[in-house]
Copies of this chain bind each other. A is one copy, B any other.
Amino acid sequence: MAERLISNAVIKRMPRYYRYLGDLLANDTERISSSELSKIMNVTASQIRQDLNNFGGFGQQGYGYNVKYLYDEIGKILGLDKTHNIIIIGAGNLGQALTNYVRFEKRGFVVVGLFDVNPRLSGISVRNIQIRMLDELEDFVANNKVDIAAFTMPKEKANDIADRVVNCGIKAIWNFANLELDLPEDVIVENVHLSDSLMQLSYRITKQKESE
């Protein structure tokens, strides 16, 4: 890939392109112009062209995009042509919900392990994945390929567990614990702060009520 410095805003839009193209494919659409794509995605056509040009283009002037080709190429850009193994640490409601999301698996994200510290959960299985006790973490990671650790434990424990996960050699964390993790620079973290998202919603509700 020629271009390396791609903005976060572009990266955030790529999964959305991928989703829309997947819907088009499911409806047997073979070609789409950037103006049609822009209409269904509610972004400008020039935005779409600019975004895709970051990765080398994929369209021909006046001819539009081949949906299947563009879908596959964006999939490769997003790394979806590879399998990513995930362990989930924290087998409470959210951890179990993530484990049960079969749609992730279709995109190559496979939950291979589920951990907790609560002995009452020991041995229980969620979608055939046995809940293991956290003291087995290091052994498990040594014996299984693990690409991503999802953090669904209480925030108080998250930084200690992050140290252990990083020491095991895991380089990517999908963080649902409600704090910013202290991590070495080469560890990738993607935060999903649910309560931040609710607070943004309530900010906008409050603003709207004020302006009424």
Residue of B nearest to A16 (CB): B196
Cβ B103 vs Cβ A206 within 8 A: no
Render A177-212 as a binary contact track against B, CB cut-off 8 A, 1 for contact.
011100000101010111111111111111110110
One of B11, B84, B199 near A80 (C-beta < 8 A): B199
Which DSSP category, helix, strand, loop or mixed, fits chain A's interface? helix
CB distance from A75 to the nearest CB of B (A): 9
Also in contact, A205 and B174, with CB within 8 A (given A93-B93, A196-B12, A199-B107):
no
Residues of A within 8 A of B (CB): 1, 4, 11-12, 14-16, 18-19, 41-42, 77-80, 82, 84, 92-94, 96-98, 100-101, 103-104, 107-109, 147-148, 171-172, 174, 178-180, 186, 188, 190, 192-208, 210-211
What 10 A-B pairs have minimum CB-CB distances, sorted nearest first? A79-B206, A93-B97, A15-B196, A15-B199, A79-B202, A190-B201, A94-B97, A97-B97, A78-B199, A188-B204
